[in-house]
Structure 1
Amino acid sequence: MGCLGNLLWFIFGGALGGLSWCLAGCLWCITIVGIPVGVQCFKIAGLTFFPFGKEVEYGGGAGSFILNIIWLIVSGLVLALEHLVWGIILCVTIVGIPFGLQHFKLAKLALMPFGTEVR
């Protein structure tokens, strides 16, 4: 189911979500200071392209907390709202519920991407 889910996800919206994360990563990588943030965006873009079968574990310390606050102000809210809106739209139908739940997982990740580990 994971392979089929990832394929359907990529065709019907995962590619757009992943490209949003890639765009955010490119914008962060313009400055030298933002390169670590951009690299994290590219890692999450890989998760956004193919999210089924992967879990996100949250953790981190003070450094992650400070980066998450800066991220939330600059880029996080826009990406989280994008995933939230798509999740609500997809949960309207029974067939779209698994895809909507993945968008909700990614919306939470868009709010707190630092200090997380994808398994």
Structure 2
Amino acid sequence: MRLILNVIWLIFGGLWLALGYLLAALICFVLIITIPFGFASLRIALYALWPFGRTIVDKPGTRPGALIGNIVWIIVAGIWLALGHIVSAVAMAITIIGIPLALANLKMVPISLMPLGKEIVPVDQPNPATDTYFGAAR
């Protein structure tokens, strides 16, 4: 089922969203000081291409630099990328088949706003922040 959803996602919106993240990464790499944002944008671009079967978790530990970086990211690119996800989600939710795709788009809004301090992991990988596996404590 994940494969089917990922292929439909790729055709009807994932490619365009990934291109938006790639453009943001390119701009970040050109400006040199924003290179960490470029790497975060590339991670999200790969996630935007193939989101089903992966999830977003917080990196363990406190990261004060990530908070400052996320504030800068929101101002520079986060708002525009989040709006792209919201508009795409509304368009996909028009049909019944598109509802899971719209939900995946809405799931990506928080990481498009604040990508630093987050990690994209497979769904079946344990969450290091809560030390759980499939929702059950070890």
State TM-score, norm by structure 2.
0.82
Between structure 1 and structure 2, the one with the greater Rg is: 2
Counterpart residue type for residue 98 of structure 2: G
Aligned to 1:4: 4
Structure 2 stretches lacking a partner, 5+ long: 122-138
Aligned to 2:69: 67
Cα offset for 1:92? 2.5
Distance in structure 2 (CA, Å) of the matches to 1:90 and 1:101: 9
Structure 1 stretches lacking a partner, 5+ long: none
State TM-score, norm by structure 1.
0.95
Aligned to 2:111: 109
How many residue pairs match? The answer is 119
Greater fraction helix: 1
Q: CA RMSD in A?
A: 1.1
Distance in structure 1 (CA, Å) of the matches to 2:19 and 2:87: 16
Counterpart selection for 2:102 from 84, 100, 116: 100
Larger mean CA deviation between 27-36 and 85-94 belongs to 85-94
Secondary structure at 1:113 match in 2: coil
Alignment of 1:1-119 (within 5 A): 1-59=1-59, 61-119=63-121
